[in-house]
Amino acid sequence: MNPKYAPLFASMTLPTPASGGGSLGGLELRNRLVMAPMTNFSSSEDGSVTDSELAYYARRSSGVGMVITACANVTANGQGFPGEIGVDRDDLVPSLNRLAQAIQGEGAAAVLQIFHGGRACPPALVNGDVVSASAVPAEAAGSAVPRELTDAEVQETVTAFGEATRRAIEAGYDGVEIHGANGYLLQQFFSPHSNRRTDRWGGDVHGRMAFPLAVVESVQAAVREHAKRPFMVGYRFSPEEPETPGISMSDTLALVDALAATGLDYLHVSLMDYRSLPRSGDLTRPRLDALVARLNGRLPLIGVGSVWSADDAMNVLDSGAALVALGRSLVVEPDWAQKVQAGNEATLRTELTPDEQNLLVVPDPLWNAILNAPGWFPVARPEAAEEKVTAGA
């Protein structure tokens, strides 16, 4: 291994003493590499995991230290995608256990990401009952107008996150990640675009974070009651929104302060590029750097976003992030960690071709999505290359 990449393979224990967690001890991660949560559309209609899904995760779990699954809906009306993992019913615990074992069997810690899609749920998946913080649709064309959740329903959803955590514990996971990013329900409550409430779940930036903080408490209460061994609780967030009004960096820094005070075990920022600059505040400093500075060691932060090379991963760690997540790069290169550790980082794959599905062990629904969403993944199309040769390009 090239010595400059050695920090990527240093072990780490979560929860950390700084987080205030860890009363049951800590879980040692073998390295600082994390499989990022990525929707794969590949579970059964009833929310149970499929064999192809298990193979997909197992193939990518042998090198990283932690795997965060695709999001799992905590209520029936929270399903945001077809083929989504379910964690809303007790009868799904055996299925969830199969996924945890597939990941842990390859040496990685298994973390179940739990969420509610809110206004982002396709009406057909939730019997037309699309809900959110307020009756404000997303700005995308054709977005459904959601129904505003009642106070009682908000509290029921808070409880549902705790019940989902109990199921994850019973299924043998090493932790859960609360999905407060990417425009889903927790972010909808935090956003001034989607939350126009005047009750205890809305108002200024502190009022808008009441629901996310209540979810954190519900999840942590479930851990205290049910966990018999180390169990991590993380929180993922998107630092800004393009809408006006929308979440600003100053809003997010306030949220980070509040989350750091709860005793969470880590935070996970959602970024398309770890080098991205903010829309507001200090426009010269990458968002990742600003977040690290604000946390000031209070919680470990997972950095992510267009991490393709070993140098990219080191840049994320050098920014002060404790862990680095690999998303698309781990789909394209399942042996990313092994190659870097063996000193073969020059051979890392950075694109795929349409005939490599079996080689890469990718389920049909995800593979079809990759090939039919131009710009999402780097796809080399051999026929295009042949056309250039034929044309004398």
- Give mean pLDDT, residues 312-320: 98
Look over the chain and give the mean of its residue pLDDT values, rounded to a whole number. Answer: 94
Confidence band for 382, pLDDT divided at 50, 70 and 90: low
CATH number of 139's domain: 3.20.20.70
Whether 378 is in a domain gets the answer no
Looking at residue 52, its pLDDT comes to 98
Whether 69 is in a domain gets the answer yes
Confidence band for 25, pLDDT divided at 50, 70 and 90: low
> What are the structure tokens assigned to 306, written together?
């267009």
- The pTM score is 0.95
- What percentage of the chain has pLDDT greater than the value 90? 93
Whether 388 is in a domain gets the answer no
pLDDT tens readout for residues 1-12: 999 999 999 999
Over 80: is that where the pLDDT of 15 sits? no
- Give mean pLDDT, residues 349-377: 96
Over 80: is that where the pLDDT of 202 sits? yes
Number of domains in the chain: 1
Residues shown for the chain: 393
CA angle 351, 354, 360 (to 5 degrees): 65
Omega into 82 within 30° of 0, i.e. cis? no
Looking at residue 385, its pLDDT comes to 43
- Give mean pLDDT, residues 241-256: 96
Whether 105 is in a domain gets the answer yes
CA distances from 227 to 83, 86, 235, 291 (A): 29, 20, 18, 30
> What are the structure tokens assigned to 115, written together?
């969420």
Whether 366 is in a domain gets the answer no
pLDDT tens readout for residues 34-87: 999 999 999 999 999 999 999 999 999 999 999 999 999 999 999 999 999 999
Whether 367 is in a domain gets the answer no
Looking at residue 383, its pLDDT comes to 59
Looking at residue 375, its pLDDT comes to 92
Confidence band for 208, pLDDT divided at 50, 70 and 90: very high
Whether 362 is in a domain gets the answer no
Over 60: is that where the pLDDT of 196 sits? yes
- Residue-range definition of the domain harbouring residue 167: 3-350
- Give mean pLDDT, residues 228-243: 96
Confidence band for 392, pLDDT divided at 50, 70 and 90: very low
CA distances from 48 to 40, 75, 91, 322, 362 (A): 13, 14, 9, 32, 17
Whether 386 is in a domain gets the answer no
- Give mean pLDDT, residues 156-178: 98
